[in-house]
Amino acid sequence: MFKRSKFVVVLVLAVFTLFVVVACAESTKKLFLTATLVPEIDSIATDTNEPDASGPDIDNGESKFKSLGCSGCHNTDSRKLVGPGLAGVGSKGDDYMRTSIVDPAAVIVDGFNNLMPKKFGDAINGDDMDDLIAYLNTLN
Ligand code: HEC
C-alpha cells in the first residue's frame, strides 16, 4: 500500500515535471519567435519608408532627359524644336506627362506632328520614369 502511493506521487511529480518542461519549451519558442519577428517588422518598415525619405532623383531625371535623346527634340524653355518646349509642362499633370512619354500618339499637341518615338515605355524603368517626371516638373 505504501509502495503504491509512493509510486503515485512519483508519477504525479513526473507528469508535473513534463508539463513544466513543455510549458518552458513553449515560452522559449515564443521568445524566440518574438526575437526574430521584431527585426523583420523593423526592416519592412524601413524598406517602405526609404522611397518616401529619398524621393525622386531630379538629377537622374535630368541626365535621363539627355541620355534618352529627349533634349534632341525638346527645349527646356518654351522655344519649339521638333517638339514643343517643355517649360511649364508640369502644369498639365504627372499622368498627362506619363502618357505623353509612354504613348505619345494618345495626345498630339496642336501644331506638332506625331514624331515622338514610341519606344520610351519599354526603355524607361519605373524609378527613372518617376525621376524624369520630377525633372519635367522643375521646368519653368
Ligand atoms: C524625335 C523627337 C522627339 C523625341 C526624341 C522626344 N519627343 Fe517628346 N514630343 C515630340 C513631339 C513632336 C511632340 C508633340 C507631338 C505629340 O504630342 O506627340 C512631343 C510631345 C511631348 C510631350 C507633351 C508636351 C506638351 O506640351 O503637351 C512631352 C511631355 C514629351 N514629349 C516628353 C518627352 C520626353 C520626356 C522625351 C524623352 C524620353 C521625349 N519627349 C522625346 C518629339 C520628341
Segments making up each domain of the chain, as ranges: 1-54, 58-137
Under-70 pLDDT residues of the chain: 1-2, 7-13, 15-53
Cβ of 102 closer than 6 Å to ligand 1, yes or no, is no
Cβ of 20 closer than 6 Å to ligand 1, yes or no, is no
- pTM over 0.75? The answer is no
**CA-wise closest residue to 90 among 100, 81, 82, 105:** 100
Cβ of 100 closer than 6 Å to ligand 1, yes or no, is yes
Q: Please state the CATH superfamily assignment of the domain spanning residues 58-137 in this structure.
A: Cytochrome c-like domain (1.10.760.10)
pLDDT of residue 49: 46
pLDDT of residue 126: 95
Ligand 1 midpoint to CA 130 (Å)? 16
- Ligand 1 atom closest to the Cα of residue 69 is 5
**Left, alpha or beta for 107 (phi > 0: left; psi -120 to 50: alpha)?**
beta
Cβ of 116 closer than 6 Å to ligand 1, yes or no, is yes
What is the C-alpha to C-alpha distance for residues 48 and 21, in angstroms, rounded to an integer? 41
